């Protein structure tokens, strides 16, 4: 109830436009409303929509593109997955209208966007349980602690920790095969910040890829393997993989929609985002139409992608934030770890009241 009251206060403030110096132009408001209600591009044809970035968020945009086309829209949508960091590089260079991100934009990327005159709207679209997985035939690891993950994945483990018993003495003397995201992945950044204390603190002697399907195959094909990625890829491949409950300061907790929404799955819960180029939103009918469709149908699209949606009422907040074109980031270039879904949402919407985000 506390979260619901917080969100309702945020919605009331946004709807009233209190303390805002940026208002959505009437022409943009009517175009967006028309696009959302009719499911079509408003006005004259545009130049299409280029989208790139996070492989974790990719399935949501893939569902959006599929459903958008099924609704009769003919807008050209170029959708690529190359990792959050690579997506931000292209976004801040002006090459993408929309960037998918499995972490907030960082301070280096903020400076790059500013140097290129790129302003943006940051929209939370889903929540995630970063999931550690093993092969189904693994009978010895019932759960894993954050300390054991740090012992296994930290830079100090490279060339040293390469057997299961070196992670936990009760586990067998079997080789361990590691599979995980590459350095351009926001999942890489978040996991290492949460587990190893620094986004760059990771061993490099493992099978890495920005394509999560590569990680799925890596673990599913080797009884001695362990890997990590977003919850959606586990949910869509659960017959091939087993998720390990994570033990932090309390009992081990399984990654699930219920545990994430209740704030129990820590520290590996995180918000997921889309970033929209503000100039493209104002000038491109195609970007306005697709962005509106994505946000207006966010709950359904996230569920169809097998991921963890935000509370239903929150998508109205996201839609209002898009309509009013509230710019900037609510995270100040930081990579927050361990936020509950309520904390992340309050920060995403309440922080926009502050002058630096207007």
- Residue 325's pLDDT is what? 92
**pLDDT confidence tier of residue 19, bands split at 50, 70 and 90:** very low
**pLDDT confidence tier of residue 261, bands split at 50, 70 and 90:** confident
In this prediction, residues 209-213 reach a mean pLDDT of 94
d(CA 72, CA 88): 30
In this prediction, residues 92-101 reach a mean pLDDT of 97
> Does the 2-128+271-357 domain belong in CATH 3.30.70.20?
no
- Residue 40's pLDDT is what? 31
In this prediction, residues 291-311 reach a mean pLDDT of 95
- Residue 342's pLDDT is what? 79
- Residue 254's pLDDT is what? 96
Residue 118 phi, psi dihedral angles, 5° rounding: -90, 120
Question: CATH 3.40.190.10 region(s) of the chain?
Answer: 2-128+271-357, 131-254
Does the structure show a pLDDT above 80 at 9? no
Classify the phi-psi angles of 86: left when phi > 0, otherwise alpha if psi is within -120 to 50, otherwise beta.
alpha
Average pLDDT, the chain: 86
CATH class of the domain at 131-254 = alpha beta
- Residue 338's pLDDT is what? 82
- Residue 249's pLDDT is what? 75
Q: Which residues pair with 134 in a beta bridge?
A: 226, 242
The model's pLDDT over 104-139, given as tens digits with 9 standing for 90+, comes to: 999 999 999 999 999 999 999 999 999 999 999 999
The model's pLDDT over 143-175, given as tens digits with 9 standing for 90+, comes to: 999 999 999 999 999 999 999 999 999 999 999
Residue bearing the bigger pLDDT, 348 or 90: 90
- Residue 351's pLDDT is what? 52
Pick from 315, 279, 311, 276: nearest CA to 298: 315
In this prediction, residues 171-185 reach a mean pLDDT of 97
Which stretches of the chain are assigned E, i.e. beta strand? 49-53, 77-79, 98-101, 120-129, 131-134, 144-145, 177-181, 207-209, 225-229, 242-243, 246-247, 269-277
């Amino acid at each position: 109830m506390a979260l619901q009251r917080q969100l309702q206060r945020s919605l009331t403030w946004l709807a009233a436009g209190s303390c805002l110096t940026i208002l959505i132009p009437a022409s943009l408001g009517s175009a967006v409303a028309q696009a959302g209600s009719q499911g079509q591009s408003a006005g004259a044809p545009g130049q299409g929509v280029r989208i790139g970035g996070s492989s974790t968020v990719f399935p949501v945009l893939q569902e959006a593109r599929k459903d958008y086309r099924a609704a009769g829209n003919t807008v050209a949508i170029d959708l690529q997955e190359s990792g959050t960091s690579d997506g931000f590089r292209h976004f801040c260079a002006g090459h993408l209208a929309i960037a998918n991100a499995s972490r907030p934009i960082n301070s280096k990327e903020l400076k790059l966007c500013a140097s290129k005159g790129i302003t943006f709207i940051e929209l939370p679209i889903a929540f995630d349980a970063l999931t550690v997985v093993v092969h189904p035939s693994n009978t010895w690891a019932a759960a894993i602690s954050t300390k054991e993950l740090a012992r296994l994945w930290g830079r100090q483990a490279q060339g040293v920790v390469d057997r299961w018993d070196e992670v936990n003495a009760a586990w067998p003397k079997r080789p361990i095969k590691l599979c995980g995201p590459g350095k351009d992945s926001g999942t890489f950044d978040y996991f290492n910040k949460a587990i190893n204390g620094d986004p760059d603190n990771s061993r490099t002697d493992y099978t890495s890829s920005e394509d999560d399907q590569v990680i799925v195959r890596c673990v599913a094909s080797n009884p001695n393997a362990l890997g990590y990625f977003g919850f959606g890829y586990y949910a869509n491949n659960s017959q091939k993989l087993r998720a390990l409950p994570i033990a932090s300061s309390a009992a081990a907790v399984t990654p699930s929609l219920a545990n994430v929404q209740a704030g129990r799955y820590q520290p590996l819960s995180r918000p997921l985002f889309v970033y929209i180029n503000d100039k493209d939103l104002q000038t491109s009918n195609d970007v306005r139409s697709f962005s509106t469709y994505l946000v207006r149908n966010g709950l359904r699209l996230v569920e169809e992608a097998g991921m963890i949606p935000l509370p239903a009422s929150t998508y109205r907040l996201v839609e209002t934030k898009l309509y009013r074109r509230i710019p900037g980031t609510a995270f100040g270039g930081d990579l927050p770890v361990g936020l509950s879904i309520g904390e992340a949402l309050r920060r995403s919407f309440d922080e926009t009241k502050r002058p630096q985000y207007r």
